[in-house]
Structure 1
C-alpha cells in the first residue's frame, strides 16, 4: 500500500514536471521542432509510462531498466553541464525554474533508484538503451534538420551549434554511453540493498 502511494505521489510530481516542461515557451529557434526535441522530455515521458504501469501492478522490467538508464544520463549530463558548463545547456534568454529543473532533471532518477527493480543483463540493457538513443537521434535529426534551413531554427542544445550530423551523432553516442553506465549503478545498488 505504501509503495502504491509512493508511486502515485511520484506520478503526480513527475507528471506535473513534464506538463510544466511541455508548457514552457520555447525560444524562436526551437519553436518549430517542439518540446520532444529534448532528450530530457523523451526520457521523462518514458519514465512516466513505466510509473503508470507500475502503479497499477504491471512492472515491465525492461521498461524500468530503460527508464533508469535514460534518467541516469539526464541527471548526470544535465547537472554536470548546468553546474560546470552552463552555456552548454541553455542560452541566456531561457528563464530557469529550479523546482521544475529538479522535477525533470533529478526527481525521475531519484524515484527510479528508490523504487528498486532487478536489472537486465548487461547486453539487453545496453542494446535497449542504445536503440532508444539512436531512434531519438533519428527523430531529432529529421525534426530539427528540416527546420534549420529557415535561418531561424536550430538545434536544442548550444553545444550542438555548428556541428555536422556525424558530430551530433557522436554527442548522442556519448549520451548513450553515459546512460549505459547506469547498469553498473543498478547492480551495485541491488548488491548493497
Structure 2
C-alpha cells in the first residue's frame, strides 16, 4: 500500500510541475530531446499530457523514479500506454520524424520509445510477419539520446524570462484546462 501512495504522490507532483511549466517542457522536448530527431506539435503535446496524466489509469512509473528532469523523456514511453507509435501516425500534426527518417533511411512500421540506464532510446521497428524465423520485431535503427539529469530545470531557469507568445499562451491555457 505504501508503494501505491508514493506513486500517487509522485503523479500529483508531476502534474503540478507540468501546470507550472507547460511551455518550457514543450520547448525542452523540441530543442533538447528531439533536437536531432524531429519536432513535437504543440497541440499533440497537450493531447499527450491529457492522455497520460488525465485519461490513462496505468502509468508505468514503478520501474523508474520520474522526476521533472526525466519527464520530457518519460512522456514518450507512455504513448498509447506502450511507448509505441505507428509510422502512419508520425506526421506534422503529431510528431514529425522527418529528421530521423533522413538519417536512418530505413523502412519501419513503428517507433518504440524507452528509458534505460540514463539513456532515451528511439527504435524504429519493423513488425515480424508471417513465417519469419525470428521471435520478435526487428530493430531497424536506434537513436540513443543521453538523459540530462538536471537538464529541464536548468533549461527553465535559463529561459524563464522569455516573453510569452501565442503558442506559450495556448499551451498554458490548454494545460490549465485539463490538469
**Structure 2 length normalisation: TM-score?**
0.32
Q: Compare the two structures and name the one with the higher strand fraction.
A: 2
Higher RCO, 1 vs 2 (CA within 8 Å, ≥6 residues apart): 1
Q: Compare the two structures and name the one with the higher helix fraction.
A: 1
